[in-house]
């Protein structure tokens, strides 16, 4: 069985005049929501996992906040250019490249790719995975290349914790 934890980056700071990839998270709501959700998911984490993040600044900052709160060594977070995508097909191709020695994968990424992935592979209908939102999915397959028809085990959204 494979476990996938999809985490959408924290709320972006739209006041920063910069390229999309360099946009930071909002110092107020972005940071607060990321810390709130990361505290709430501690019990959902498997014993062993690998962590991938988009190369976008807001995803890397979100990963750092989650790592800080969950006592995950940030040096183990792997930046992957392919996760900087808004396309579900590209995200799925990237996830399916995970080595089978890892049974659990945590990804810090972007919408629409995350919401579309959950809806397609999780057999559910979610309008929108919000910023700092977390969706935990299990797949019965033993090979990442073969994942399909997973089960959404848990959803943790900031609005549900306030």
Tens of pLDDT, residues 75-93: 899 999 999 999 999 999 9
pLDDT of residue 23: 93
pLDDT in tens, 103-151: 999 999 999 999 999 999 998 899 999 999 999 999 999 999 999 999 9
- CB–CB of 129/158 below 8 Å? no
Residue 17 has pLDDT above 80, yes or no: no
- The CATH code of domain 2-156 reads 3.40.50.1240
Q: How far apart are CA 121 and CA 135, in angstroms?
A: 12
pLDDT of residue 162: 85
Mean pLDDT of the chain: 95
pLDDT (mean) for 3-25: 92
Domain spans of the chain, in order of start = 2-156
Kindly state the tokens that stand for 1.
């069985």
Phi, psi angles (nearest 5°) of residue 53: -135, 150
pLDDT of residue 31: 96
pLDDT of residue 44: 94
pLDDT of residue 40: 96
Residue 39 has pLDDT above 90, yes or no: yes
Share of the chain above pLDDT 90, in %: 92
Residues found in the chain:
162
pLDDT (mean) for 37-49: 95
- CB–CB of 154/32 below 8 Å? no
HSE-up of residue 72 (Cα within 13 Å, Cβ side): 25
- CB–CB of 131/88 below 8 Å? no
């Amino acid at each position: 069985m494979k476990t996938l934890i999809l985490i959408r980056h924290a709320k972006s700071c739209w006041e920063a005049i910069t390229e999309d990839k360099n946009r930071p998270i909002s110092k107020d709501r972005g940071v607060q929501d990321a810390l709130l959700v990361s505290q709430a998911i501690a019990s959902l984490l498997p014993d062993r996992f690998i962590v991938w993040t988009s190369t976008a600044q807001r995803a890397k900052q979100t990963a750092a906040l989650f790592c800080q709160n969950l006592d995950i060594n940030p040096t183990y977070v792997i930046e992957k250019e392919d996760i900087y995508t808004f396309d579900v097909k590209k995200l799925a191709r990237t996830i399916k490249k995970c080595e089978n020695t890892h049974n659990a994968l945590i990804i810090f990424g972007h919408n629409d790719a995350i919401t579309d992935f959950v809806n397609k592979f999780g057999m559910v209908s979610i309008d929108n995975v919000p910023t700092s939102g977390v969706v935990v999915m299990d797949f019965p397959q033993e090979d990442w290349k073969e994942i399909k028809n997973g089960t959404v085990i848990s959803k943790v959204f900031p609005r549900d914790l306030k």
